[in-house]
Amino acid sequence: MKAIAWPLFGIIVLTSFWNPLYSTIQQLPNIVSRSENITIAGLTLKVGKGLRQQASTEVKQVLSDLSPESIRNLLTSGESTYWDVEYEISARTKSNELLKFGLLEEIPKAELNDRKDSTKYGYGVRLTPLGKETQAFLFNLISEFAQELEQKE
């Protein structure tokens, strides 16, 4: 009798709550699309609805795939960044992931050598439109987070 009691109890509960459960399952995609969470480098953060809407699908996707180191590099990137010839290998390594995700683009050698100042650079990168958009979103996210910290104190 005990062997039948628990499964029977489970079936009765499932049957009695079937309509609410089914309704919840049907609404799940809508609930998820209104979620106020965004994943950045494997870390899920709760963000305000207005800020979440500022992030395009591309920005959300890139941020969920970027490493923390690349996010730091993106945040510290200027419009364009140049390195002397002796630092070219380390600069390429530092920029690799951001290049892969289309946040940076390499500056052609001809353009590097055609600069008005007398410095001859060995390597340079600049932010792409997606890089600028992602960087701006991250700055807004940090700003919102800082404001939230002030409100909690």
At 2-29, the pLDDT tens digits run 667 767 777 776 677 656 655 544 544 4
How far is the C-alpha of 41 from the C-alpha of 65, rounded, in Å? 6
How far is the C-alpha of 66 from the C-alpha of 77, rounded, in Å? 15
* H or E element that contains 108: none
**Which pTM value belongs to this model?**
0.63
| Domains of the chain with CATH codes | 1-34 (no CATH), 35-152 (1.10.10)
How far is the C-alpha of 48 from the C-alpha of 102, rounded, in Å? 26
The answer, yes or no, to whether residue 96 has pLDDT greater than 90, is yes
Structure tokens at 17: 């709550």
Identify the DSSP state of 33. Answer: H
Identify the DSSP state of 17. Answer: T
pLDDT band at 63 (very low <50, low <70, confident <90, very high): confident
In the chain, the amino acid numbered 44 is T
Which tens digits make up the pLDDT trace of 24-61?
445 444 444 444 555 555 545 555 555 555 678 888 88
